[in-house]
Amino acid sequence: MIQLQYIDSGILEAYVTGSATDTEVKELMYMKAKYPEVNFALQQLELDMEHIAQHMAVMPPAGTWDKISNTIDELVLRGEYDPKQFTTDARDNNYHNFKTDNSPHFIAVESESNHMKVHKNWKWVLAAVFVLGKIFLGCAIYFYLENRQAQQQVQELKTELKQLKK
């Protein structure tokens, strides 16, 4: 039987290990769809590959999922929408006779939400700005007090000099 010969040819093994040529892949897809035996053999080989991988599985480090989920969260699934077909009255195409349902007749251009979405990376930027702001504020207070103290000392020295001159 041709399907058994095909299974024995080693093309299925080449496919699951990614070493099959484009022509072989096309041929395999055809054989898979046509012969359930080929499909079953391919599924078994995929399970073999999965079995090897299970044996050598490594637990991902703690932060790996966060790195992946940051991107996945940005993918928003769009709900399925089946638009109604446009139909008119064949006898009279006058616009007064167009049948419309109660669905909205305009496209909402402006978003209803007042919130703005920003990338998660901005939280680190904002945190850095906040910390730097605190550092600058601390420095300003420190130098202001230093300056005031220095001025007082100068004033005292001037007073002392005046008294000495007298």
Structure-token pair, residue 112: 């209803």
Q: Is 36 in the site for other proteins (CB under 8 A)?
A: no
Nearer to other proteins among residue 5 and residue 87 (C-beta): 5
Number of residues located near other proteins, criterion CB under 8 A: 37
Q: Is 33 in the site for other proteins (CB under 8 A)?
A: no
Q: Is 79 in the site for other proteins (CB under 8 A)?
A: no
Q: Is 90 in the site for other proteins (CB under 8 A)?
A: no
For tokens 């090897």, name the residue: 52
Question: What is the rounded distance in angstroms from the CA atom of residue 13 to the CA atom of residue 41?
Answer: 10
Map the footprint of other proteins across residues 5-24, applying CB under 8 A.
8-11, 13-14, 16-21
Map the footprint of other proteins across residues 50-69, applying CB under 8 A.
50-58, 60-61, 64, 67-68
Angle between helices 36-55 and 22-34 (to 10 degrees): 120
Q: Is 28 in the site for other proteins (CB under 8 A)?
A: no
Q: Is 29 in the site for other proteins (CB under 8 A)?
A: no
Map the footprint of other proteins across residues 101-130, applying CB under 8 A.
none
With CB under 8 A as the contact rule, the residue among 2, 40, 44, 142 that binds other proteins is: 44
Q: Which residues bind other proteins (CB under 8 A)?
A: 8-11, 13-14, 16-21, 43-58, 60-61, 64, 67-68, 71-72, 75, 77
